[in-house]
């Protein structure tokens, strides 16, 4: 009986050692490639379109499932619960994370990100714009200058890969 228990323990130990990445979360498996950090659903970089092309791809469409790569302009400074991503032509796109299931680091500004999810056109209210400005660390004067809603491309990401 003791030999059977010992043998079982050894076999389980070998199995765990041989599968050291099994069951790890995205952030734990990111340690394998220290230049990339994964958030949310498992996604890859494969087939990511440059974010600068998104506006032209959205012409005539209300929404578009896609994978993008580009630079992060701003990050929510309260939690990292949204980012602004450069989409060219002096435009930025607000990126939210599906069901607030993940956030990006507050110091991710200026870094390259890969995101996968749904791009869509949305009108953002004055109140919400002021809320985002406050979360982004804008001054009271800058926030008071927000007097009109904005219609822009918005993105709901189900996964993200951040390049350090």
pLDDT over threshold 80, residue 138? yes
Most confident of 18-22, 80-84, 131-135: 80-84
Structure token pair of residue 94 = 């607000």
Pairwise CA distance, residues 75 & 109, whole Å: 6
| Interval 7-24: pLDDT, tens | 344 333 333 333 333 333
Share of the chain above pLDDT 90, in %: 74
Q: Are 67 and 49 in contact (CB under 8 A)?
A: yes
Mean pLDDT estimate for the chain: 84
Strand partners, 159: 40, 116
Strands (E), the chain: 36-40, 49-50, 63-75, 82-86, 92-97, 112-124, 150-163
> What was the pLDDT predicted at 32?
52
Rounded to two decimals, what is the model's pTM? Answer: 0.74
| Interval 20-78: pLDDT, tens | 333 334 444 444 568 999 999 999 999 999 999 999 999 999 999 999 999 999 999 99
> What was the pLDDT predicted at 8?
41
Mean pLDDT, to the nearest integer, of 96-123?
A: 96
How many CA atoms lie less than 13 Å away from 30 in the CB half-sphere? 17
Q: Binning pLDDT at 50, 70 and 90, where does residue 127 land?
A: very high
């Amino acid at each position: 009986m003791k030999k059977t228990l010992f043998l079982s323990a050894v076999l389980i130990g070998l199995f765990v050692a041989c599968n050291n990445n099994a069951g790890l979360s995205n952030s734990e498996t990111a340690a394998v490639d220290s230049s990339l950090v994964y958030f949310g659903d498992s996604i890859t970089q494969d087939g990511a379109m440059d974010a600068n092309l998104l506006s032209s791809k959205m012409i005539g469409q209300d929404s578009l499932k896609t994978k993008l790569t580009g630079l992060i302009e701003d990050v929510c400074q309260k939690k990292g619960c949204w980012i602004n991503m450069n989409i060219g032509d002096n435009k930025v796109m607000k990126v939210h994370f599906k069901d607030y299931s993940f956030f990006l680091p507050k110091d991710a500004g200026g870094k390259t990100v890969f995101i996968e999810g749904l791009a869509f056109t949305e009108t953002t209210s004055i109140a919400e714009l002021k809320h985002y400005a406050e979360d982004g660390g804008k001054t009271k004067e800058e926030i008071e200058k927000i007097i009109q809603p904005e219609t822009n491309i918005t993105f709901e990401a189900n996964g993200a890969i951040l390049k350090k």
